[in-house]
């Protein structure tokens, strides 16, 4: 029944031990050879936070305008939240196109469930996301407005983003086998995604400042909605838009299902191309 309704979940569950091993391997390889090792998982997001807060908060005087007496700390936490979710998406997008191409032995020489490679990349990105979110929650509790039951909205925003990440990783990794230019296109799309996902400003500002057709397009961006839902619930302590929540979940599951189906469809041709 699970394989018929959610084949992507069935595949992941069937190979869960292998998925866990490759996820650990990806996390370790990212920091292999560095003196600080996993400490970079904490240090990197904090350094990026400091850079963006300095540039957008102090030089450009940015603010979200949600809290009545918003401080630079509140603004920094808002940016950090947006960056945490954005970096998850950008990490998945950046590594996916070369996952299959860079591991030809798994395609040609052994019987291996290659759909695990994209899933493990998402697993490693999820680890870094959880580290960043832990820092956000600690910062909100110690230096921000505090935490209340709104923190329960966090998994509501994050879990569908993981589904969407899986689908995109499966799709991009499969396309990367046949079209090697996908990696170059993805780099541009990551930059576009950063500035169209309300990382540095509230989504309502797009509606107020941009031409109507811009919001008509960007309102369907799952990452933008996930960031807004997370901020609203955890930092601003207000209930997110339930229509946005429903849309985020439905679209993310559809993306995951379609990405998995496309990967399965293209998988038999991988060996011929590689």
- For residue 213, give the 3-state DSSP assignment: helix
Question: Token digits for 259?
Answer: 């990405």
Measured distance CA(116)–CA(249) in Å, rounded:
23
Residue pointed to by tokens 């921000």? 144
Query: Whole-angstrom Cα distance, residue 98 to residue 87?
Result: 18
pLDDT score recorded for residue 2? 47
Residues for the chain: how many in total? 274
Cβ atoms of residues 274 and 107 within 8 Å? yes
Residue 45's pLDDT is 73
- Cα separation, 146 vs 139, whole angstroms: 9
Predicted pLDDT of residue 85: 95
Q: Look at residue 190 in the predicted model and tell me its pLDDT.
A: 92
pLDDT of residue 80: 86
Residue 88: CB atoms within 10 Å = 25
Residue with token string 């490759």: 22
3-state SS, residue 139: helix
Tens of pLDDT along the chain (274 residues) come to: 445 556 778 878 888 898 999 998 888 787 665 555 667 667 777 777 777 777 766 776 677 877 788 777 788 888 888 989 999 999 999 999 999 988 888 887 667 889 999 999 999 999 989 988 988 888 888 877 888 888 999 999 999 999 999 999 999 999 999 988 888 899 899 999 988 898 888 888 888 888 888 888 888 999 999 999 999 999 888 888 899 999 999 999 999 999 999 999 999 888 888 7
């Amino acid at each position: 029944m699970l394989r018929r309704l959610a084949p992507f979940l069935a595949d992941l569950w069937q190979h869960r031990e292998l998925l866990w091993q490759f996820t650990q391997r990806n996390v370790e390889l990212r920091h292999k050879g560095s003196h600080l090792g996993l400490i970079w998982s904490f240090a990197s997001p904090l350094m990026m936070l400091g850079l963006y807060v300095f540039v957008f908060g102090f030089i450009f005087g940015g603010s979200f305008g949600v809290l009545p007496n918003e401080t630079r700390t509140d603004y920094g936490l808002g940016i950090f939240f947006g960056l945490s979710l954005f970096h998850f998406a950008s990490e998945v997008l950046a590594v996916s196109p070369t996952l299959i191409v860079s591991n030809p032995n798994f395609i040609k020489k052994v019987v291996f469930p290659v759909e695990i490679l994209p899933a493990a990349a998402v697993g490693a990105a999820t680890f870094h996301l959880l580290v960043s979110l832990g820092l956000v929650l600690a910062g909100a509790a110690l230096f921000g407005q505090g935490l209340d039951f709104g923190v329960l909205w966090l998994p509501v925003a994050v879990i569908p983003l993981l589904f969407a990440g899986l689908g995109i990783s499966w799709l991009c990794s499969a396309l990367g086998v046949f079209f090697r230019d996908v990696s170059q296109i993805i780099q541009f799309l990551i930059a576009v995604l950063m500035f169209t996902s309300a990382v540095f400003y509230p989504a309502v500002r797009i509606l107020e400042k941009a031409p109507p057709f811009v919001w008509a397009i960007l309102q369907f961006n799952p990452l933008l909605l996930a960031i807004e839902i997370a901020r609203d619930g955890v930092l601003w302590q207000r209930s997110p838009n339930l229509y946005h929540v429903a849309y985020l979940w439905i679209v993310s599951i559809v993306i995951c299902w379609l990405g998995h189906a496309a990967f399965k469809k293209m998988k038999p041709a991988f060996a011929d191309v590689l």
